[in-house]
Every structure is written in structure tokens, then in C-alpha cells.
Amino acid sequence: MTIVSDAMDETPPPPFPPPLAGEGQGGGIRLTEQQLRARRSRSIAIALALGAFVVVIFLVTLVKLGSNVLTRPM
């Protein structure tokens, strides 16, 4: 047996630790269907809440400024 073939017999170390349950190749997190659905519903709720907040600020601005909203110093 040559030195070269001895070296070839050794198992090379894996480039990354083996993935755990729920992880994709390379250690990244792969979401389950349930997690994806939950994240989507949370994202929609946050978008709706932000939209509602913008509408509230817009309406209160109109109410507070009244007709002065059209007054612009030239």
C-alpha cells in the first residue's frame, strides 16, 4: 500500500455539520408548511395594522388642519 492510497482511504471531513431536523443543506433554516403559513398570516396582519395607522394619521391631519390644509405660503 502506498502513502497516496493510504491517504485516499481516510474519510474527508464534511464541509458543514450535517443538517438537523428543520434545517436545509448548509445549516440554513428551512421552514415547515405550518411555519410558512403562520409567517404569512403575521405579515398580512402587520401590513394591515400599518395601513390602518397611516389612514388614522391621514384622517386626523385633515380634521385638525381643516380647510387650512389648502393654505400654502407662497
Enumerate binding residues for other proteins (CB under 8 A).
22, 29, 31-32, 34-35, 37-39, 41-42, 44-45, 56-57, 59-60, 62-63
Would you say 1 or 29 has its CB closer to other proteins? 29
Would you say 59 or 69 has its CB closer to other proteins? 59
Q: How far is CA 65 from CA 23, 53, 56, 68, 69, in A?
A: 54, 18, 14, 5, 5
Beta carbons of 28 and 16 less than 8 angstroms apart:
no
Would you say 37 or 51 has its CB closer to other proteins? 37
* Grid coordinates belonging to 25: 443543506
